[in-house]
Chains A and B, each alone.
Chain A
């Protein structure tokens, strides 16, 4: 059962990474990048590295998303082309 979940989480990393590159809308691409980070944190927990997972959850998914949002608000990136 656990192996299936690990494989599913890895497929999730792959799908959200591809989406982050493909999507035209910047906000949706940023959300997909955050999701890749989320799944990476889950896979770190499943690979028995809880401290790395905590750092990934704090920096990759929390802080990076906030900084991207701040940048999109300061620049013109949030508008539809």
Chain B
């Protein structure tokens, strides 16, 4: 059961990264690309957590944590920059 769920999670992460990179390449406006990079950050955190479970090394969870904090800061700064420029 857990094996099926992990494989499903891997497939979903694969699909999400594909769609996000496609949106980044197509993306008409800058805001599209910002939302795409935000989504890809969340998917990457999920991928790191999945790999931490699969490999059994829980040090990798720390990387996901640090990344979650920092990516939030970067997207916030970009949004603030866009707001001030308008």
Q: Hey, which bits of chain A sit against chain B, CB under 8 A?
A: 1-2, 4-5, 8-9, 11-12, 15-16, 19, 25, 27-28, 31-32, 34-35, 38-39, 41-42, 45-46, 48, 50, 53-54, 57-58, 61-62, 65-66, 69, 72-73, 78
B46 CB to nearest A CB, Å: 10
The answer to whether A12 touches B30 (Cβ under 8 A) is: no
Q: What is the minimal beta-carbon distance from A12 to any residue of chain B, in angstroms?
A: 5
B48 to chain A, nearest CB (A): 5
Q: Is the interface of B mostly helix, strand, loop or mixed?
A: helix
Binding site for A on B (CB under 8 A): 7, 10-11, 13-14, 17-18, 21, 24-25, 27, 30, 33-34, 37, 40-41, 44, 47-48, 51, 54-55, 57, 59-60, 62-63, 66-67, 70-71, 73-74, 77-78, 81-82, 84-85
